[in-house]
A and B are shown apart, each in its own frame.
Chain A
Amino acid sequence: MTCSDFLQELSDYLDDAIDASTRAELEDHLAWCHNCYVICNTTKKTIEIYRDSQLYELPEELRVRLQVAIVAKCKTTKKKH
């Protein structure tokens, strides 16, 4: 397995969406290829940081305002059939 082959499978590996034999091949590669090991770890960390980052949270005050506006519009709108 080359580094390029490894990278092609990286997403599925991180998502645990591969069969056992491919996983074993990838892990063999990781055992000796330091570069791919680093890329694998830092990509995993990238995903975790974004997942936990809460970049765009909806403030409660705005949330209430939007909910009121949506409900008001729904009450006056006609549904399409």
Chain B
Amino acid sequence: MAIIETKVKDAASDELALVQAAKQGDVGAFEQLVRRYDRNIFRIAHHITQNREDAEDVVQDAFLKAYENLEQFQGNSKFYTWLVRIAVNESLMKLRRRRSDRTVSIDEDIETEEDTMPREIADWSPNPEQLYRQGELKDILRKTIQGLPASFRTVFVLRDVEGLSTEETAEALDLSIPAVKSRLLRARLQLRERLNKFFRKPKRGDSKK
């Protein structure tokens, strides 16, 4: 146990040491940071851009930008939160370019009456993920999350898929904490609503009466 605890502590202080070394021009130290976070950055970028090539570009561009601007990283936040902020901005730029849509923004806040008021209330099968083959399930989940506005999708991915705290998400997206919470609630409820048709319990007539 003591060895595990020491390792966890080492990982945190080790990270600062790696950042410091990279600031001095040690590319090997920066490479370790790349290995630590490249999978997370790829997932986030893929979720936002919805395109694999764009996600690959974002991984490269975000790490390169981080390396170039390491001096600006003051250590007030975690390195990872700072990196996510860069990657989200790069991803949104890609998304705008691909859609020729300058309005895609993390500030985008779509207020509708229906999005917090569920329309369909049906219980789901006990293990809904087992209703589909794994490939099918992934297709359903991808298509469903792709239908969310970029700002909702991004908050949901950072909080619920990547496990950032509300505070870290607010910092990475330059949003207030209430704004993160409001988007997260609506993202969760909209996803739930959209998944209903795939996961709800089959109707069994009036057998309970």
Contact = CB atoms under 8 A, between A and B. Distances in A.
Contacts of B189: 7, 10, 39, 43
A8 B160 contact: no
Contacts, number: 134
A74 B67 contact: yes
A42 to B, nearest CB: 5
Interface in B31-60: 31, 34-35, 38-39, 42-43, 46-47, 52, 55-56, 59-60
17 contacts: A11-B184, A11-B188, A38-B123, A42-B196, A45-B124, A46-B192, A47-B160, A49-B128, A49-B141, A51-B163, A55-B43, A55-B145, A56-B43, A66-B56, A66-B59, A74-B64, A75-B27
Interface of B: 23, 25, 27, 30-31, 34-35, 38-39, 42-43, 46-47, 52, 55-56, 59-60, 63-64, 67-72, 116-118, 121-124, 128-129, 137-138, 141-142, 145, 156, 160-161, 163, 166, 181, 184-185, 188-189, 191-192, 195-196, 199
